[in-house]
Structure 1
Amino acid sequence: MADSGTLVNVLRAAGEGTRLRLLALLCDGEHSVKDLTEILGQSQPRVSRHLKLLADAGLVSRNAEGAWAYYGLAEGGAGGDLARWLVARIDADDSDRARDRARLAAVRAAQQEQAAAYFAKVADSWDRLRQLHVPEEAVEAAILEAVDGRVADLLLDLGTGTGRMLELLAPHYRRAVGIDSSREMLAIARAKLAAAGIGNAQVRLGDIADLDASLGSADLIVIHQVLHYFDDPGRVLGQARRLLRADGEILIVDFAPHDLEFLRSHHAHRRLGIGAQQMAGWARAAGLRVAELRSFPPSNGAGLTVCLWRLANDPDGNWTE
């Protein structure tokens, strides 16, 4: 419950056309100011001013990452509850809502094209490039430790890239499917799996932010160095959770927060790492919980810290298999 003064401030902030459109967009997932400006067709100062009013009223949350900032609906409180209530009552055929969703789809498609072009360019040298900034041996040892003694009936590797996780975890699954949106990466993955004699794994072209339910229910899902390529990693987690068995687990490897802007401008990164609270919030929204978090600082002290999260079904969430 909230006092009347708080509710008046929340209602005043939400009761304006552009701000209501912003709340509806943020109900679809986190977005940067840059993307919201493009979707709404308004200036950056104007959009930022609206977002500040919404944030001050507790309707949205702000997360700064280097030169960018990402916004999402507040997780709880009077503001977050009211925002979701309002958005749920917007007519699905509302012209502004339909136009904003169409522009959102176009923005996401453009981002995917940009990432695909980057991956096509670096596919041949991807494994070597990855080793330049990741304590790979320690992380892979930790991944194997996390699945020790487990053999999954179905393993899904989301954003499989060149198929390294399918190779590494081959003794730990009866069947595996790797999903990636880069044809060039998948061609290399197929060649590597064939060379290693791994016949119980296959790779498919697909969008991990819009997974096909026909893949089946997995008892182990791996998302290795993938989430930082998405503006809204929570959307990917929500998709993964739909395909996770009630007793399954998700292993996520990604960077800790950092300030290396060149990874965004030159290497198609969208998020500058992922913090513990961010991951916990995305997991909670997806009906998951963080069962374990391990960090791996760079061996030379000059690189990036890598984190390994183990997510499990949240027994207090609304689980549906």
Structure 2
Amino acid sequence: MEHLLAALRACAEPTRLRILALAARGSFCVMEFTEILGQSQPRLSRHLRLLGDAGLLDREREGANVWFALPPADTQGGSLARAVLERLPEDDATLAADRRQAARVLAERAREASESFRRKGADWDEMRALDLPAAAVETALLGLLPEAELGRVLDIGTGTGRLLEVLAPRVASGLGVDASRAMLALARARLARPGLTHCAVRLADMYRLPLPDAAFDLVVLQMVLHYAEDPASALAEAARVLRPGGRLVVVDLAGHARTEVMTRLAHRWPGFGDARMCDLLRGVGLDPGTPVAVPGPLEVRLWPAGRSTALSAPTYDLVPETTP
């Protein structure tokens, strides 16, 4: 009985419940927990030690990192942890935010672990990593945009800054945001070249952009939404910073059944169908245009949308659907 009481006491703390909920999604190291939960390493190390001592977490050292995960379901600690987690509300706002952050961390882990990232560095992007026709996609994107100057442009999930480099000759100013410091370091090196000084990047969460309303003439999300735990919320933020009369373009994979691609790069969604994407865009107050397809090993689609000159409050569901 004493062991059970110790395990229940270990669970009975908000941060430790959040840790268990994350561990149910896979293994994380201490630094990843600090990034997801926004707490200090010493504090989280204490919580992890208490959960481990209570048998609610397994720890495994791998090189310089220690990884934490739920014990097997057929163990006392594993079964108790799962019984507790089953009673957590799925719609809890804190847990939903943790899931979004965890999806980003897992995607970043997969991206940095890829052989092509290690080999190519600043020349890496996901389309090339998937052998997709990056040049054709860039041409299709430019074809969707007006020939006149594009004004202020925001690139959400900028990665290595390649899109800003492509758009630079046609923009008054460009800003790229990404939640990965590794990617931003590569993007800053790229944008230090001559002729690109009007473009910049900064660290930001696509669900909580530190940017004012209606600040941009063009917003682009390229190869971003299939990583998003909550695509509707990400698009709502993109719509918020888009000025009336401005345009947004989503560039992403069409719906597919390539589960090995999702596993290898930690995708949350197997691409998107036109109907699903148009519903998402309308749900955040945007008017979808005609999609453009770029064939390849996986089809890439470009979904343009505009924001009407009359401001209206978006109506969208913050709970992601279970199908693309």
Output the TM-score relative to the length of structure 1: 0.64
Matched residue SS, 1:292: coil
Partner of 2:113: 121
Pairing of 1:47-62 with structure 2 (within 5 A)? none
User: Which amino acid counterpart does residue 166 of structure 1 have in structure 2?
Assistant: L
* 2-structure distance, mates of 1:250, 1:174: 17
Output the TM-score relative to the length of structure 2: 0.63
Residue 127 of structure 2 corresponds to residue 130 of structure 1: yes
Deviation (angstroms), 1:270: 0.6
Deviation (angstroms), 1:185: 0.8
Residue 304 of structure 2 corresponds to residue 310 of structure 1: yes
C-alpha distance 216-235 of structure 1, shift in aligned 2 (>3 A): same
User: Which amino acid counterpart does residue 243 of structure 1 have in structure 2?
Assistant: V
Work out whether residues 244 and 310 of structure 2, in 8 Å CA contact, stay in contact via their aligned partners in 1. Answer: no
Work out whether residues 287 and 307 of structure 2, in 8 Å CA contact, stay in contact via their aligned partners in 1. Answer: yes
Partner of 2:318: none
Moved more, 121-130 or 198-207: 121-130
Work out whether residues 120 and 182 of structure 1, in 8 Å CA contact, stay in contact via their aligned partners in 2. Answer: no
Residue 190 of structure 2 corresponds to residue 192 of structure 1: yes
Higher RCO, 1 vs 2 (CA within 8 Å, ≥6 residues apart): 1
Work out whether residues 119 and 184 of structure 1, in 8 Å CA contact, stay in contact via their aligned partners in 2. Answer: no
Residue 214 of structure 2 corresponds to residue 210 of structure 1: no
Matched residue SS, 1:273: coil
**Which segments of 5 or more consecutive residues in structure 2 lack a partner in the other structure?**
1-20, 25-87, 315-324
Deviation (angstroms), 1:128: 6.0
Matched residue SS, 1:102: helix
Matched residue SS, 1:120: helix
Moved more, 153-162 or 116-125: 116-125
Pairing of 1:1-321 with structure 2 (within 5 A)? 100-122=92-114, 123-124=117-118, 125=120, 127=124, 130-131=127-128, 132-214=130-212, 217-298=215-296, 303-314=297-308, 318=312
**Which segments of 5 or more consecutive residues in structure 1 lack a partner in the other structure?**
1-37, 42-95
Matched residue SS, 2:293: strand
Q: Percent identity?
A: 34
* 2-structure distance, mates of 1:192, 1:288: 32
Deviation (angstroms), 1:215: 7.8
Cα distance per residue 1:186-219 (max 9 Å; x no partner): 1111111113531000000111121113486100
User: Which amino acid counterpart does residue 134 of structure 1 have in structure 2?
Assistant: L
Deviation (angstroms), 1:103: 2.2
User: Which amino acid counterpart does residue 153 of structure 2 have in structure 1?
Assistant: L
Matched residue SS, 1:113: helix
User: Which amino acid counterpart does residue 105 of structure 1 have in structure 2?
Assistant: A
Deviation (angstroms), 1:319: 5.4
C-alpha distance 225-265 of structure 1, shift in aligned 2 (>3 A): same
* 2-structure distance, mates of 1:105, 1:113: 13
Deviation (angstroms), 1:117: 2.0
Cα distance per residue 1:45-82 (max 9 Å; x no partner): xxxxxxxxxxxxxxxxxxxxxxxxxxxxxxxxxxxxxx
RMSD: 2.6
Matched residue SS, 1:248: strand
Deviation (angstroms), 1:236: 0.9
* 2-structure distance, mates of 1:189, 1:304: 26
* 2-structure distance, mates of 1:261, 1:174: 40
Deviation (angstroms), 1:159: 0.2
Give the length in aligned residue pairs: 225
Cα distance per residue 1:283-308 (max 9 Å; x no partner): 1110011112111111xxxx100101
